Amino acid sequence: MPTHRAPRSRNRTLVAGAAAVAAVAIIVGAVALVGRPRSASQLQSAPSTPPSGTLAASTADPVVSATPSAVTAEPTAPAAPPDPTAATSAKKGVSTWELSGLATALSDVGASWYWNWAVSPTPGAGDSAEFVPMIWGPDSVTSDNLDRAQRNGTVLLGFNEPDFANQSNISVEQALDLWPRLQATGMRLGSPAPAVGGADPGGWLDRFLSGAAQRGYRVDFIALHWYGSDFSAAAVGHLRGYLQAVWDRYHLPIWLTEFALIRWGSSGAVYPSDAEQAAFITGTTEMLEGLSFVERYAWFALPTSDGRDGTGLYRDGATPTAAGIAYRGAGG
């Protein structure tokens, strides 16, 4: 998401139910993420029913700053202190921007990796979690950024929500023309992450992967975003159906690099109750841990913003939200 989040300022219109994934995504109005070049675009929920490797073949880092607008969820009381030890998993990660006590929060939640829509680690992140760099958009494809990505990680994420005008907004042809420069880093390479429609025949991702195969380019795994507008227990199945559809179509490993429950509308973002968000986290992470074709997943996002919990896991390094407490248990 972030452009602003800084790279993400999300103004998304969530389409629930049958439309395939938004990011996964629908972040309303403008979620500005500190330091990342993402604008919080319109996220769309995945289809409620599923359809059905390795694909062979300068701009400064964005800053992420998340500032959700018009949140209608009621404030909640501070969450209870977490248990002493978080569950850990090689799959479990988070997206993040700067946060007071970031290193403590990353360790406390048990994240094994994180990303921030940029090519350099977030200040104060510490070394408990692996950093995964991203080339956010076409202006980020510079020698300096590619060199920094190589210095800071071994895996590289491709363009951020190229199918959204308020995100990286890249045509399939432009993305394909730039891809050899990303491939030349020699890093393990994730696809551009579409906001929606990852399993759609003729969709952005479908055309990109077809073009990459025709040109003999390498794509090692698929990156996806997904935001659900259905706050019921059915949301877990909606997400699973979307992931299954993408796997059935391409048979490439999947990284779910953004996911959460948010309902976007003309008046702003609406979040589920603490209990609904926590139940979704518990159900989805158990499901994601059990899917062999899902290599990694990352919640959106580690910090809260604008004094509201939203989908954030930590208010500061020592204060988890209800969602944060639930995510600490993921992967056990």
> Taking residues 225-248, what's their average pLDDT?
98
Between residues 85 and 171, the one the model is more confident about: 171
- Indicate whether 42 pLDDT > 70: no
Cα angle 269, 256, 155 (rounded to 5 degrees) comes to 125
Cβ atoms of residues 315 and 127 within 8 Å: no
What pLDDT sits at residue 58?
A: 38
CA distances from 3 to 6, 23, 115, 138, 188 (A): 4, 14, 14, 13, 24
Give dist(CA 74, CA 237) in Å, integer: 26
Q: Name the CA dihedral angle for 291, 18, 40, 147, rounded to a multiple of 10 degrees.
A: 40
> Taking residues 296-305, what's their average pLDDT?
98
Give dist(CA 231, CA 277) in Å, integer: 8
CA distances from 5 to 85, 110, 209 (A): 30, 23, 28
List phi, psi (to 5°) of 208.
-65, -45
Which of 17-21, 82-86, 278-282 comes out lowest in average pLDDT? 17-21
Angle between helices 172-183 and 204-215 (to 10 degrees): 50
What pLDDT sits at residue 254?
A: 99
Architecture of the domain delimited by 4-328 = Alpha-Beta Barrel (3.20)
Between residues 160 and 10, the one the model is more confident about: 160
DSSP annotation of 140: G
pLDDT band of 303, cuts 50, 70, 90 = very high
pLDDT band of 140, cuts 50, 70, 90 = very high
Residue identified by tokens 């969820």 is 73
Give dist(CA 151, CA 137) in Å, integer: 19
Q: What is the mean pLDDT of the chain?
A: 83
What pLDDT sits at residue 1?
A: 66
The pair of structure tokens assigned to 10 is: 């999300």
pLDDT band of 84, cuts 50, 70, 90 = low
- Indicate whether 20 pLDDT > 50: no
Give dist(CA 215, CA 238) in Å, integer: 34
What pLDDT sits at residue 276?
A: 98
3-state secondary structure of 265: strand
Domain coordinates in residue numbering, the chain: 4-328
Bond from prior residue into 301 cis (ω within 30 degrees of 0): yes
6-20, 163-177, 262-276, range with greatest mean pLDDT? 163-177
- 209-224 per-position pLDDT tens digit: 999 999 999 999 999 9
Instruction: Determine the number of helices (DSSP H) and then strands (DSSP E) in the chain.
Output: 7, 14
- Indicate whether 109 pLDDT > 50: yes
Rg (CA), the chain: 18
What pLDDT sits at residue 32?
A: 36
Give dist(CA 159, CA 167) in Å, integer: 9
Whole-model pTM?
0.80
- 172-203 per-position pLDDT tens digit: 999 999 999 999 999 999 999 999 999 999 99
Between residues 13 and 208, the one the model is more confident about: 208
Which of 84-88, 89-93, 150-154, 159-163 comes out lowest in average pLDDT? 84-88
Reported in sequence order, the residue ranges of 76-132 that DSSP labels E, i.e. its strands, are: 92-95, 113-115, 130-131
Cβ atoms of residues 134 and 157 within 8 Å: yes
